[in-house]
Structure 1
Amino acid sequence: MTPITEVEGRRVALSNLEKVLYPATGFTKGELLHYYATTADALLPHLHDRPVSFLRYPDGPEGEVFFTKNVPPGTPDWVTTAEVPRSEGPARMVLVQDLASLMWAANLVTEFHTAQWVIEAPDEADRLVFDLDPGAPATVVDCCEVALWLRDRLAADGVEAYAKTSGAKGLHLLAAVHGASSQRASEYAKGLAVAAERAMPQLVVHRMTRSLRPGKVFVDWSQNAARKTTATPYTLRARAEPTVSAPVTWAEVEGCRAPEELVFRAADMGARLRDVGDLMAPLLDAERAAALP
């Protein structure tokens, strides 16, 4: 029998709480749900008003992993959904607007991925994103060097960037922007990726071509396209261990000398949030959003 719990007046079914999702550490589904419940105050503002793509892994990262963009079958009628424009025709997607919806979605066992726009303005980018992906033997330490270059280059254009771990091997840079289409944001981001490659040709590649990537950091600018999504701050990832896409300080980026220094797991985040708060909170302040040059 599936236990039902009440969350903010909503009845939410939470299933298989003892199921081990991450065999490497014994991390269970109950622990995953507890993680999302206790980080909700930081996570929910970054999900709010953004259609969510779910990367689901109900049997753990070693089982089947699949993307769900449309509203999943069986979604409760109290979960907010919205029609989203797509090139192949409109689709209906989930908006995770509150704790009850978050716990319902977390019960599906998912990574949360969100677009760089909000539902009220799907034609306007309000986020700029760079996904820094190291090709072995490059690591997140190399990503940090590239991130610092991009931070300073963005700052020269009046754009304030914030960093988070991808929760996998790399780093994500995010900035709040306004007044630009997703296409314009993509063009601007590509221009900076190309400039980074020119400045650091031994370290950076701006093209996705696999053969170019060993030992370099791929600066993926393409996630600024309206149809693309990026792992949301604080989401757990479908990796060997329950790692988190965790916001980091620029001091941590500057000081990183070994990859393990920028690995954060679910168990780390409660104390970290108490110590430093939501390092990405400035992204939510519309007055700090920059116009792209």
Structure 2
Amino acid sequence: MVKSKIVIMLVMLVLSTSSMAAFANNFQQDFDITWGDGRAKILDNGNCLILSLDKTSGSGFQSKHSYLFGEITMQLKLVPGNSAGTVTAFYLSSSGATWDEIDFEFLGNLSGDPYTVHTNVFTQGKGNREEQFHLWFDPTKAFHTYSILWNPRQIVFSVDGIPIRVFQNAESIGVPFPNKQPMKIYSSLWNADDWATRGGLVKTDWTKSPFIASYMNFNAQACVCSSDGTSSCASNSPTSLSGDWLKQELDSNKKQKLIWVRQNYMIYDYCTDSKRFVQGFPPECKYAPLV
């Protein structure tokens, strides 16, 4: 009974916050809840969505459309308080044994400790390209904007418009780049206390459940792929090249912000982990950005 009251109070808080914003897209129109047995809820006529995790199950959703390149943006408010052991994931992924994937994962913490933002890029089923950061704000107090710019030249992870990571297209030196497989947008809230917080040393405190993550202001400037494999960007339609994102690169201001984040908030870079890559770093590491 107490837990149900907590969920109702959190839902009301999300609704009161989200009603003050303008929405580019609608969760009812753009997403399907895929699992969680009622723990995921679309609210406020599709303007807001929440995921919930308790000891029985987490929850998740995915986009109705698949995309091949785009600028995908979502506002999230992460699980507050003692969120140790929980992971809130926001990512793009294709399907099959040689899938491509672009990951944001937010690793929970003990109350008062910083969240860890875990990023990864998979190409043809191979990942192992982790970079991790702390944030320069508390991501549980308000909604913040997380975006993935994915075009033929590069992938850029950004937080509140500030780039934190760039993965360049290095096909010229034999590194696969995700540019052939359409991907859907996914998000989930789940228990990963075997690894998420301090390598699994801190376990999920289920007395703090249900854990709630909130979403609003989804926007996709992207090439939408239809079921027959054709893309909206394959034509000269007004939606095909309506923004600069398809050719966008970082300007000097964005490059300076990228340097600032990586110098002050980066906590792990696979391209500097000599213990892990004893035989030499992966070839794309020569494209490590700026720092």
TM tier, smaller: under 0.3
Q: TM-score if structure 2 supplies the norm length?
A: 0.27
Greater per-residue helix proportion:
1
